[in-house]
Amino acid sequence: MFSYIRKALSAAVALGATIAFALSAALPAQAATAYVPISGAGSSWSANAVEQWRTNVQQYGMRVNFASTGSSDGRNQFRNGTVDYAVSEIPYGLKDGSVVDSPPANRPFAYMPIVAGGTAMMYNLTSGGKQITNLRLSGEVITKIFTGVITKWDDAAIKADNPSISLPSRKIVPVVRSDGSGSTAQFTAWMAAKYGSLWGAYCNAAGRGSGCGLTSNFPVVAGKGFVAQPNSTGVAGYVQQRANDGTITYVEYSYALNAGFPVAKVLNKAGYYVEPTAQNVAVGLLGAKINADLTSNLTGVYDNADPRAYPMSSYSYMIVPKTNANNFTNDKGKTLGAFANYFLCEGQQQAPALGYSPLPINLVKSGFDQIKKIPGASSVTLDLKKCNNPTFSADGSNTLAKNAPQPADCDKKGSTQCASGTGGSAGAGSNGGTSAGGTTTGGTDATGGAGASGNSISGPMSCNADTGQCVAVTADAVKISAEPSWTVGNTIMAAAVLLLIMIVLLPPVLSRVLKRK
């Protein structure tokens, strides 16, 4: 018995060695440029892009590690010298409550923009058993939701934003970040700038002292029904659980795309409700003022008057070291420089597909200037033609923003509303939609208790006897596609289950059998 096993084992090892040798012989290029592994931590807002890029550069032999632990943690780790680079949405030196997030004292650094994106309002809401995918919200309503002023989905203010949706009388459950996060910082900065009194009052109620302004830690008032979860995956994962109907969170657009969930269209200065697509973010960020150290002032983005602009657009930054302090070496700099070279140029192509927006040409150029400050980074010249960045043009203007489509008429603030789905549920039809402007709804004063006074939605109505709320009963045909009985996927799944069972059961059984022999 034993000798048989040993023989089989040695045969397997020999086979493996042969294959490995053949593979190594087939890929001689890999050994040509050796890269030292580097590691970083930070933002989960931009983590989906960074993850994709670091996977892509593995083919060049680069080992880039990234821990998506939140911007605050990333900045702290960079300051303490435990990581080679950090990713953060906000720079050092901002005042959070009474504490100034001081820059690292003896580790000179530079900011390098890595990608743009929109902080999206991802939500999970059903009405009559059907998911709502075309919700629209104005900035003030969003602020009121996240400060606990508006607590029901059928609030008059939300109805005013959504004339064609029959909203359920469900409690709104805002889902916020429990860890220190750049998403929270971006979101609270926007609320503090635009709706300072609402946000200030909430902050005071949470015990943060006089109107906290921008903060990385969302203050939660106990008993308001807010849910706090760590990391972007945490909040998005919480919202996407089917039972958690009525939840809404702020998270980067890519998380909604990955989850297959809709995002709310947000009202901009021009009176249009827009989605944080790559184009709308690019248009919105034309209003950003770039400072000398490449950080940005976003006040102009919030009030960008272009009808296509998404107001909560922002950049994400990599914080890179300028000296070899804290165990940084020239070899690490070489890897970091090559990685930056990849994502600033080629990597930007993938940004729209991932749910981000590519950087414009001026930031890419400045980013390349920052690469030169990294010790050991080989100076590479930027070949704009090779980048295939969709924002680039011959005259330096942002092509992506220039060619962004104007919003549809049904997205204008008014009595009509587009029916098409948003975010991860784009393409899915939604309920109550009036894209053609055909069936219009009458008055929107349905808050009265007099039953179906103002609504003239055709079709049967169901009225709640207690509240007088009437909801159109939708009976849409549900299309069930004929599924093939047994696919390759099923086979693989069955094999995986079998393998798992074997992993669990084989060791004890085998040990018994072997012992008996």
User: In the complex, which residues of this chain contact other proteins (CB under 8 A)?
Assistant: 69-70, 72-73, 76-77, 97-99, 168-171, 173, 178-180, 207-209, 216-217, 220, 222-223, 225-230, 234, 237-238, 241-247, 504-505, 507-509, 511-512
CB of 173 to other proteins, least distance (A): 5
Which of 225, 437 has the CB closer to other proteins?
A: 225
CB of 353 to other proteins, least distance (A): 25
Which of 75, 334 has the CB closer to other proteins?
A: 75
Q: Which two tokens stand for residue 199?
A: 């946000």
CB of 244 to other proteins, least distance (A): 5
CB of 122 to other proteins, least distance (A): 15
Q: How far apart are CA 372 and CA 179, in angstroms?
A: 33
Q: Which residues contact 179 (CB under 8 A, 6 or more apart)?
A: 69, 70, 72, 73, 217, 230, 231
CB of 175 to other proteins, least distance (A): 9
Report which secondary-structure segment, H or E, holds 167.
Answer: none
409 C-beta neighbours (distance < 10 Å), count = 12
Which of 462, 491 has the CB closer to other proteins?
A: 462
Residue type, 468: G
Q: How far apart are CA 284 and CA 440, in angstroms?
A: 31
Is residue 356 a contact partner of residue 116, using CB atoms and an 8 Å limit?
yes
Which of 260, 414 has the CB closer to other proteins?
A: 260
Dihedral (Cα; 432, 433, 437, 443), 10-degree rounding: 40
**Got the DSSP string for 68-91?**
E--HHHHHHHHHHT-SSEEEESS-
Mapped onto helix, strand or coil, the DSSP state of residue 262 is: coil
Which of 91, 168 has the CB closer to other proteins?
A: 168
CB of 99 to other proteins, least distance (A): 5
Which of 437, 507 has the CB closer to other proteins?
A: 507
Return the closest-CA partner of residue 342 out of 382, 376, 373, 314.
Answer: 382
CB of 395 to other proteins, least distance (A): 43
Return the closest-CA partner of residue 441 out of 453, 429, 450.
Answer: 453
Which of 68, 313 has the CB closer to other proteins?
A: 68
Mapped onto helix, strand or coil, the DSSP state of residue 472 is: strand
Which of 466, 483 has the CB closer to other proteins?
A: 466
CB of 179 to other proteins, least distance (A): 6
Which of 5, 505 has the CB closer to other proteins?
A: 505
Q: How far apart are CA 122 and CA 313, in angstroms?
A: 15
Distances (CA, A) of 424 to 248, 302, 347: 14, 24, 22
CB of 215 to other proteins, least distance (A): 11
With both helix axes pointing from N to C terminus, report the angle between 330-344 and 361-371 in degrees, rounded to the nearest 10.
170
